[in-house]
Copies of this chain bind each other. A is one copy, B any other.
Amino acid sequence: MLDVCLLGTSGMMPLPRRHLTALMTRYNGSSLLIDCGEGTQVTIRAQGWSLHDVDVICITHVHGDHIGGLPGLLLSMANSDRTEPLTIIGPSGVKKVADSLRIIAPGLPFEIRYKELSEEFLSIECDGYTLEAFRLKHTVTCYGYSQIIHRGGRFDADRAREAEIPLSAWSRLQKGETVEAEGRVFTPDMVLGPPRKGIKVTYCTDTRPIPKIAECAAGADLFICEGMYGDPEFTGKAKEKKHMVFTDAAALARDAGVKELWLTHFSPSLIRPKDYEQVAREIFPNSHVGKDRKTVTLTFDDE
């Protein structure tokens, strides 16, 4: 199962009751953070999740509201006695920006490994899950990310017994490993059905709505998408600033066939985003206005 927490919902600047937009997920003892604005470490603490276990940080783009909190987070991770390497993934140039910000976080007790993106689309294998990065359309190079937890096929005990596979090999075969035992070789395809639906979360900010987003979010259990403005009348402003209105995000959710949409990255001028939730629901019924630390635990379908 995957714990998902939308750490904040503000765009452009942090507000007293609205942290900057960022996402954190926890899977199998490892945490993923997407974006780290000023104050992101505070909302992680308010949520009660550990900074120590953040193994991967994805940065969508190097605007201040998405990366300004990085040095403070790194300092606090150092204070939590982390020594394991940390991976930072982001658009080409992210290392330069991170290094410049790190003038106040120079000596860290853990290594930082950078993965700079320049592709239109890239799939990255992480510890137990797949990250997909896809290029968005903003004023600077920007990436959306999907976290995908794959799920192998169902284990068929009857077939395992028929093939006289020793019990000691079953659990490794179930994990997809090939096993040698009793002088024979057993492969997962002997006992596993076709791969089953896993878990997919797609995160997408800051960008204009482009068809590629719907392709990359296809079938997601949860699609977290920017909606800078609620009122469709701000469409012109959204185009100018390379952002979206709620209905743009809802249309992407509908086209992608996702299960649920959370809107985020609200303009400071959008005082009550809830007022425009219905506008989004007319296009995609399962639309929800995000709020700080909105949390869900996603499980496999029949768990």
Say whether B14 contacts A42, CB under 8 Å.
yes
Which B residue sits closest to A72, measured CB to CB?
A: B38
Say whether B38 contacts A16, CB under 8 Å.
no
- Interface size, chain A (Cβ < 8 Å): 31
Q: Quick check: is A76 within 8 A (CB to CB) of the other chain?
A: yes
Stretch at the interface among A95-103, A145-153, A188-196, A244-252: A95-103
Contacts of A97 in B (CB 8 A): 103-104
Contacts of A71 in B (CB 8 A): 64, 68
Q: A38-B38, A38-B41, A41-B38 are in contact. Are A67 and B104 (CB under 8 A)?
A: yes
Instruction: Say how many copies of this protein the assembly contains.
Output: 2
Interchain CA distance A42-B20 in the complex, whole Å: 11
Which B residue sits closest to A46, measured CB to CB?
A: B16
Q: A68-B72, A105-B64 are in contact. Are A45 and B100 (CB under 8 A)?
A: no
Binding site for B on A (CB under 8 A): 12-16, 38-39, 41-43, 45-46, 62-65, 67-69, 71-72, 75-76, 79, 96-97, 100-101, 103-105
Interchain Cβ contacts under 8 Å between A and B, 24 examples: A12-B79, A13-B75, A14-B39, A14-B41, A14-B42, A14-B72, A15-B42, A16-B45, A38-B38, A38-B39, A38-B41, A38-B68, A38-B72, A39-B42, A64-B71, A64-B104, A65-B72, A67-B104, A96-B103, A97-B103, A100-B100, A100-B101, A100-B103, A101-B101
